[in-house]
Amino acid sequence: MVEPLSAVDVIRAKRDRQRLSDEQIDWVVGAYTSGVVADEQMAALAMAILLNGMDEAETARWTQAMIDSGERLDLRGVGRPLVDKHSTGGVGDKVTLPLAPLVAACGAAVPQLSGRGLGHTGGTLDKLESIPGWRAQLTAEQITAQLRNIGAVICATTSGLAPADRKLYALRDVTGTVESVPLIASSIMSKKLAEGTDALVLDVKAGSGAFMKTREQARELAGALVGIGARHGLRTTAVLTGMSTPLGCAVGNAVEVAEAVEVLRGGGPPDVVELTVALAREMLALVGVDGDPAGTLASGRAYETWCRMIAAQGGDPDAALPVAAHTCVVEAPDGGVLECVDAFAVGVAAWRLGAGRARKEDPVQHAAGIRCLARAGDRVERGQPLFELHTDTPDAVPAALAALERGYRVGDTAPPPTPLIIDVLR
Q: What is the predicted pLDDT for the residue at 160?
A: 87
Q: How confident is the model at residue 407 (pLDDT cuts 50, 70, 90)?
A: very high
**178-to-58, 181, 212, 326 alpha-carbon distances in Å:** 18, 8, 11, 35
Mean pLDDT of 114-126: 81
The pLDDT-based confidence of 121 (bands split at 50, 70, 90) is confident
Residue 406: pLDDT over 70: yes
Nearest to 87 by CA among 221, 235, 180, 214: 221
How much is the pLDDT for 2? 42
Average the pLDDT over 364-372 and give the result: 96
For the chain, the three-class secondary structure string (H helix, E strand, C coil) is CCCCCCHHHHHHHHHCCCCCCHHHHHHHHHHHHHCCCCHHHHHHHHHHHHHHCCCHHHHHHHHHHHHHCCCCCCCCCCCCCEEEEEECCCCCCCCHHHHHHHHHHCCCEEEEEECCCECCECCHHHHHCCCCCCCCCCCHHHHHHHHHHCCEEEEECCCCCCHHHHHHHHHHHCCCCCCCHHHHHHHHHHHHHHHCCCEEEEEEEECCCCCECCHHHHHHHHHHHHHHHHHCCCEEEEEEEECCCCCCCEEECHHHHHHHHHHHCCCCCHHHHHHHHHHHHHHHHHCCCCCCHHHHHHHCHHHHHHHHHHHHCCCCCCCCCCCCCEEEEEECCCCEEEEEECHHHHHHHHHHHHHCCCCCCCCCCCCCEEEECCCCCCEECCCCEEEEEEECCHHHHHHHHHHHHCCEEEECCCCCCCCCEEEEEC
Annotated catalytic sites, by residue? 86, 165, 172, 187, 191
User: Which pLDDT score, from 0 to 100, does residue 77 have?
Assistant: 86
**Amino acid (one-letter) located at 349:** A
Q: What is the pLDDT of residues 13-53, one digit of tens each?
A: 999 999 999 999 999 999 999 999 999 999 999 999 999 99
What pLDDT shows up at residue 357? 80
Please tell me the predicted confidence (pLDDT) of residue 118: 66
Q: Is residue 409 over pLDDT 70? A: yes
- Taking the model in full, what pTM does it have? 0.94
Mean pLDDT of 271-291: 97
CB-based contact 404:346 (threshold 8 Å):
yes
Confidence (pLDDT) at 119:
67
pLDDT tens for 174-208 read 898 988 999 999 999 999 999 999 999 999 999 99
Domains and CATH numbers, the chain: 7-53 (1.20.970.10), 83-312 (3.40.1030.10), 326-411 (3.90.1170.30)
**Rounded Cα gap, residues 227 and 284, in angstroms:** 20
Please, which pLDDT band fits residue 358 given cuts at 50, 70 and 90? confident
Q: In the beta sheet, which residues pair with residue 203?
A: 87, 239
Q: Please tell me the distance from the alpha carbon of residue 231 to that of residue 229, in angstroms, as a whole number.
A: 6
Please tell me the distance from the alpha carbon of residue 234 to that of residue 193, in angstroms, as a whole number.
Answer: 8
pLDDT tens track for 162-178: 999 989 988 998 898 98
The sign of the torsion formed by the CA atoms of 351, 354, 358, 362 equals negative
The answer to whether residue 372 scores a pLDDT higher than 70 is yes
> 292 - beta bridge partners?
none
Between strands 110-114 and 235-242, the pairing is unpaired
| Mean pLDDT, residues 327-340 taken together | 97
Residues 6+ away with beta carbon under 8 Å from 53? 180, 181, 182
The reported pLDDT for the residue numbered 3 is 55
Task: Please state which of the ranges 55-64, 111-120, 310-319, 412-421 shows the lowest mean pLDDT.
Answer: 111-120
